[in-house]
Amino acid sequence: MTGLKFVHTVCPYCGTGCGIDLVVRDDKVVGTNPFKRHPVNEGKTCIKGAYCHEFVHREDRLNSPLIRKNGELVKASWDEAIDFIVSKLKTYGKDEVGFFSSARCTNEDNYVFQKFARAVMKTNNVDHCARL
């Protein structure tokens, strides 16, 4: 076990907030362990939490915005992507957009999400997927 670090964090898979320890070797996440003294999961994880480290360093993981140009997805800056999204959203009315959130978000994330939809976009078309 030499060369390993254990970093306390919260599992990203749902809004439950289970504590996990990331197993880190050479600045790369190589595994997860349940955080034994965490008050939410008390040292247990579901199957998704046990293997959530596998997507962190995947080669096919998106790590920058992509915008479709002439039928092809091309890398874009964050500013360019945000400007693109804003320009597209401006073409729709409040009853033409909907916001769909995830159970992987915390309650606080979902609150801000629906607040943005209602206060900024002026729509009540808000839903979420609560299936884990």
Q: Give pLDDT tens digits for 77-106.
A: 999 999 999 999 999 999 999 999 987 777
Question: Two tokens at 128?
Answer: 């979420």
pLDDT of the residue at 4: 94
Model confidence at 15, pLDDT cuts 50, 70, 90, reads confident
The full set of domain ranges for the chain reads 4-55, 62-91, 92-132
Q: Say whether 19 sits in a helix, a strand or coil.
A: strand
Q: Which CATH class is domain 4-55?
A: mainly beta
Q: How far is CA 38 from CA 11, 28, 34, 55, 58, in A?
A: 12, 23, 8, 23, 28
Question: Two tokens at 16?
Answer: 């439950």
pTM of the model: 0.63
